[in-house]
């Protein structure tokens, strides 16, 4: 009886979710949506056959019912149930974001599911209904037909059973193996049109600003109707704007690793994997060249393991919300003007004859898009509140620029602005935020290089990745680029390909090449091919029309993501072993220690040793 009741709970949960999505319906769609739930209920029914299992079954029933109810608002928002990575990210820092979604529709949907769990067993008992073999046979048939139906229907991820998804999210889908290749087709590229800028910023200060959740499509100089960032727009009018720049991973923490260390992160890895790899970072290199280095973050370093990405990355000074101590705190951090003031205070102590490398990580732009005062846009919709948050962050940028001018450090500086990832607002069903998908709104980011007196307005159409930022900075200031970098200087070559992945929910890996955008789903094996020049909204999947191209892209991205995972895991293991030897008892600080095999890093498609 509990199994039949649980099936009703799953069905009601599906009905509560479906109004938020626009699916293409056919006779097979219900089977495709429900087969995983039917399989779970069938397994649950088998437990009911066990002797003396009544109390255990009752407890499991309520645990499952409450968990299903909890997942309804999550699926309504993100088209996926909770996964282990999502649960790990759900902590105090997200309190404001979680509170933002406690509305009538979400609360009502959860109450409806719990009410079903209470009422259905009572009704079945009063009706003296005892599901038997026919019930179990029907479930088995629904599972078989559902698997068949699911193969030809795009369910937008709504077919996932919340418990099966939680379990499978802890299983690794990508097998690492060593493979070296020219992933971005560097050998076929032409020399960059920016070659004349190599070394022009020699001796200049470097200011790197990673704009939180800032997608290119939301900015005026990338074609948006409104202008939430007038200060950045003004700088872009005298700077180099890369029209097709992409994040390597649509999340801030591992994205920061890509920017600072010019390396891709790896799929299905924790932040601890990166604690002792990714060196030398751009901060390391500049520090050895006499630069003073500091990183300022309006948020908190403890969030999602950011410490693993910034500690021992070449920064002399690290400041987050705790050290900055502004006047207005949210669950994410402090107000941007407080961070700007702290940066300018630090700069006052940097001698005028010493260059500096300043990295600024604002939080303005992060959900739930809080601002201390109303902005120029309406507050009715999330996207409008987001634009106000970008505007608020841009005002802080203006304060930083004015402060640099007053200190006499503006004219002799090189500025690099980049979004750490984009931000989605339902352009595709269930695509909100940034981490779960690889659509253009998630991963296409602004990238602007500006140097007063050196740069003029120039639009660059060739592809770029955030892993290219560090080598491009070093090339601009005239310093050698470490051979271990996987990115390239955009002053030197024009990459033909950008690579990216995400693994917060579905494991997705993809590439952008010429007019094509390809994304592969590991769990379903579904290929997605878009002509983003003719179809910028990525509405038409052309994989079936171009099967040869799809298979070719699929082979490339699957091999790349497996090779990158092997590389990162191998380097991490060797770095840990080396650290153990250096820190072993009896080893004097600074003494020479013979390390195990040299750490190998994939750079420009070749294996290079770092000693």
Three-class SS of 550-585 = HHHHHHHHHHHHHHHHHHHHHHHHHHHHHHHHHCCC
With 80 as the cut, is the pLDDT of residue 595 above it? no
Average pLDDT score over residue span 426-445: 90
Q: Tell whether 181 is covered by a domain.
A: no
**Could you tell me if 252 and 305 are in contact, meaning their C-beta atoms sit under 8 angstroms apart?**
no
Domain boundary among 168, 201, 230: 168
For residue 127, what pLDDT is reported? 78
Dihedral over Cα of 222, 225, 229, 230: its sign: positive
113-122, 194-203, 440-449: which is most confident: 440-449
Please tell me whether residues 522 and 384 are part of one structural domain: yes
450 CB-near residues (< 8 Å, 6+ apart): 235, 236, 238, 239, 240, 414, 415, 416, 417
Q: Tell whether 130 is covered by a domain.
A: yes
Average pLDDT score over residue span 581-586: 66
Could you tell me the pLDDT band of residue 94, with boundaries at 50, 70 and 90? very low
With 50 as the cut, is the pLDDT of residue 452 above it? yes
Give strand pairing partners of 601.
Answer: 608
Distance CA 323, CA 298 (A): 10
Domain boundary among 134, 168, 202: 168
Please tell me whether residues 206 and 321 are part of one structural domain: yes
Average pLDDT score over residue span 458-474: 96
Burial-class residue 584 by CB neighbours within 10 Å (0-12, 13-18, 19+). exposed
Distance CA 231, CA 452 (A): 14
Give the helix ranges, DSSP H, for 79-195: 84-89, 95-100, 104-126, 133-150, 162-168
Q: What are phi and psi of 459, to 5 degrees?
A: -100, 130
For residue 101, what pLDDT is reported? 61
With 80 as the cut, is the pLDDT of residue 20 above it? no
Which range is least confidently modeled, 30-39, 487-496, 526-535?
A: 30-39
For residue 440, what pLDDT is reported? 97
Distance CA 452, CA 414 (A): 7
25-39, 371-385, 589-603: which is most confident: 371-385
Q: Tell whether 583 is covered by a domain.
A: yes
Average pLDDT score over residue span 302-312: 85
Average pLDDT score over residue span 345-359: 95
With 80 as the cut, is the pLDDT of residue 248 above it? yes
Mean pLDDT over the full length of the chain: 86
The DSSP output letter for 432 is E
Distance CA 18, CA 303 (A): 33
Average pLDDT score over residue span 370-394: 91
For residue 571, what pLDDT is reported? 93
Average pLDDT score over residue span 319-324: 89
The residue ranking higher by pLDDT, 482 or 379, is: 482
With 70 as the cut, is the pLDDT of residue 100 above it? no
For residue 332, what pLDDT is reported? 67
Average pLDDT score over residue span 381-392: 93
Distance CA 553, CA 532 (A): 15
219 CB-near residues (< 8 Å, 6+ apart): 227, 228, 229, 232, 233, 446
For residue 152, what pLDDT is reported? 65
For residue 97, what pLDDT is reported? 52
For residue 597, what pLDDT is reported? 41
For residue 582, what pLDDT is reported? 64
Average pLDDT score over residue span 391-414: 96
Distance CA 516, CA 512 (A): 6
Share of the chain above pLDDT 70, in %: 89
* List of long-range contacts for 372-379, beta carbons under 8 Å, 24+ apart: 372/328, 372/335, 376/228, 377/226, 377/228
For residue 329, what pLDDT is reported? 60
Average pLDDT score over residue span 456-477: 96
Please tell me whether residues 135 and 225 are part of one structural domain: no
Distance CA 534, CA 546 (A): 15
Could you tell me the pLDDT band of residue 328, with boundaries at 50, 70 and 90? low
Q: Tell whether 91 is covered by a domain.
A: yes
455 CB-near residues (< 8 Å, 6+ apart): 197, 238, 239, 240, 449
Q: Tell whether 416 is covered by a domain.
A: yes
E-state strands within 397-533:
413-419, 424-425, 432-433, 444-445, 447-450, 458-465, 497-502, 508-513, 516-521, 527-531
Please tell me whether residues 437 and 390 are part of one structural domain: yes
For residue 577, what pLDDT is reported? 84
For residue 33, what pLDDT is reported? 83
Average pLDDT score over residue span 115-129: 86
With 50 as the cut, is the pLDDT of residue 605 above it? no
Average pLDDT score over residue span 513-535: 94
Domain that holds residue 53: 2-168
Dihedral over Cα of 201, 205, 209, 210: its sign: positive
Q: Tell whether 415 is covered by a domain.
A: yes
Distance CA 17, CA 156 (A): 12
Average pLDDT score over residue span 337-366: 94
Domain boundary among 168, 202, 224: 168
Could you tell me the pLDDT band of residue 144, with boundaries at 50, 70 and 90? confident
Angle between helices 252-261 and 469-476 (to 10 degrees): 40
SS3 state at 411: coil
Distance CA 338, CA 297 (A): 11
Dihedral over Cα of 103, 104, 105, 107: its sign: positive
Could you tell me the pLDDT band of residue 42, with boundaries at 50, 70 and 90? confident
For residue 216, what pLDDT is reported? 97
For residue 270 the two structure tokens come to: 């924790």
Average pLDDT score over residue span 237-251: 96
Please tell me whether residues 163 and 240 are part of one structural domain: no
Closest C-alpha to 319, from 299, 295, 292? 295
Please tell me whether residues 438 and 495 are part of one structural domain: yes
Closest C-alpha to 502, from 168, 260, 174? 174
Please tell me whether residues 463 and 498 are part of one structural domain: yes
Could you tell me the pLDDT band of residue 171, with boundaries at 50, 70 and 90? confident
Q: Tell whether 183 is covered by a domain.
A: no
Using the CB atoms, write b or e for 214-242: b if 16+ within 10 Å.
bbbbbbebbebeebbbebbbbbbebbbbb
With 60 as the cut, is the pLDDT of residue 414 above it? yes
The total number of structural domains that make up the chain: 2
């022009």: which residue's tokens?
Answer: 200
Could you tell me the pLDDT band of residue 257, with boundaries at 50, 70 and 90? very high
Please tell me whether residues 235 and 124 are part of one structural domain: no
Distance CA 464, CA 462 (A): 7
Could you tell me the pLDDT band of residue 611, with boundaries at 50, 70 and 90? very low
* List of long-range contacts for 62-66, beta carbons under 8 Å, 24+ apart: 62/117, 64/6, 64/9, 64/163, 65/6, 65/9, 65/113, 65/114, 65/117, 66/114
Average pLDDT score over residue span 327-354: 86
Please tell me whether residues 368 and 459 are part of one structural domain: yes
Angle between helices 104-126 and 54-78 (to 10 degrees): 150
What is the phi-psi region of residue 23: left when phi exceeds 0, alpha when psi lies from -120 to 50, beta otherwise?
beta
**Could you tell me if 473 and 206 are in contact, meaning their C-beta atoms sit under 8 angstroms apart?**
yes
For residue 578, what pLDDT is reported? 80
Could you tell me the pLDDT band of residue 182, with boundaries at 50, 70 and 90? confident
For residue 570, what pLDDT is reported? 94
With 60 as the cut, is the pLDDT of residue 599 above it? no
Please tell me whether residues 220 and 284 are part of one structural domain: yes
The residue ranking higher by pLDDT, 584 or 79, is: 79
Please tell me whether residues 289 and 434 are part of one structural domain: yes
Q: Tell whether 176 is covered by a domain.
A: no
CATH number at residue 509: 3.40.720.10
Q: Give the strand pairing for 356-361 and 205-211.
A: parallel
Please tell me whether residues 140 and 231 are part of one structural domain: no
For residue 73, what pLDDT is reported? 85
């Amino acid at each position: 009886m509990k199994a039949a009741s649980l099936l009703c709970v799953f069905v009601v949960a599906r009905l509560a979710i479906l109004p938020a999505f626009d699916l293409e319906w056919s006779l097979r769609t219900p089977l495709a949506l429900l087969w995983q739930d039917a399989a779970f209920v069938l397994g649950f029914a088998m437990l009911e056959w066990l002797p003396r299992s009544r109390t255990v079954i009752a407890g499991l029933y309520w645990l499952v019912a409450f968990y299903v109810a909890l997942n309804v608002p999550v699926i309504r928002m993100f088209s996926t149930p909770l996964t282990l990575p999502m649960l790990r990210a759900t902590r105090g820092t997200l309190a404001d974001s979680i509170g933002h979604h406690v509305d009538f529709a979400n609360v009502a949907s959860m109450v409806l599911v719990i009410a079903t769990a209470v009422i259905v067993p009572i009704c079945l008992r009063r009706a003296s209904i005892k599901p038997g073999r026919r019930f179990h046979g029907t479930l088995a048939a629904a599972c078989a037909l559902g698997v068949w139906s699911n193969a030809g229907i795009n369910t937008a991820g709504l077919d996932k059973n919340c418990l099966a998804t939680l379990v499978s999210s802890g299983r690794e889908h990508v097998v690492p193996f060593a493979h070296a290749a020219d992933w971005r087709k560097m050998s076929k590229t032409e020399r960059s049109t920016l070659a004349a800028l190599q070394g022009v910023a020699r001796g200049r200060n470097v200011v790197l600003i990673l704009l939180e959740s800032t997608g290119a499509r939301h900015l005026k100089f990338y074609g948006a109707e409104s202008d939430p960032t007038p200060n950045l727009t003004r700088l872009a009018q005298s700077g180099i704007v890369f029209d097709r720049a992409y994040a390597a991973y649509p999340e801030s923490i591992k994205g920061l690793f890509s920017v600072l260390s010019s390396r891709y992160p790896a799929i299905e890895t924790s932040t601890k994997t990166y604690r002792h790899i990714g060196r030398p970072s751009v901060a390391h290199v500049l520090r050895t060249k006499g630069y003073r280095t500091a990183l300022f973050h309006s948020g908190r370093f403890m969030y999602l393991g950011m410490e693993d990405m910034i500690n021992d990355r070449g920064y002399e000074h690290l400041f987050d919300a705790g050290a900055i101590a502004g006047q207005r705190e949210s669950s994410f951090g402090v107000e941007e003007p407080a961070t700007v003031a702290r940066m300018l205070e630090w700069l006052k102590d940097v001698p005028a004859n010493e260059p500096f490398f300043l990295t600024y990580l604002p939080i303005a732009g992060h959900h739930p898009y809080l601002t201390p005062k109303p902005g120029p846009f309406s507050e009715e919709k999330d996207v409008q509140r987001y634009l106000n948050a970008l505007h608020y962050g841009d005002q802080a940028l203006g304060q930083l620029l004015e402060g640099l001018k007053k200190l006499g450090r503006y004219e002799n500086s090189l500025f690099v602005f980049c979004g750490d990832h984009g931000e989605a607002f339902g352009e595709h069903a269930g695509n909100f935020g940034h981490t779960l998908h690889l659509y253009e709104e998630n991963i296409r980011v602004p990238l602007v290089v500006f140097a007063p007196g050196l740069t003029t307005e120039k639009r660059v159409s060739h592809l770029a990745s955030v892993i290219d930022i560090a080598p491009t900075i070093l090339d601009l200031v005239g310093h050698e680029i470490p051979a271990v970098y996987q990115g390239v200087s955009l002053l030197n070559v024009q990459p033909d390909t950008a690579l990216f992945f995400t693994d917060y929910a579905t494991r997705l890996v993809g590439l952008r090449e010429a007019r094509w955008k390809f994304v592969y789903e590991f769990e379903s094996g579904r290929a997605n091919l878009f002509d983003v020049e003719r179809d910028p909204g990525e509405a038409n999947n052309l994989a079936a029309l171009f099967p040869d191209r799809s298979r070719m892209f699929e082979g490339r991205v699957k091999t790349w993501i497996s090779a990158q995972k092997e590389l990162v895991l191998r380097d991490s293991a060797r770095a840990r072993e080396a650290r153990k030897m250096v820190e072993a008892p009896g080893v004097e600080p600074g003494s020479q220690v013979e390390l195990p095999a040299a750490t190998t890093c994939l750079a420009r498609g070749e294996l290079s040793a770092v000693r």
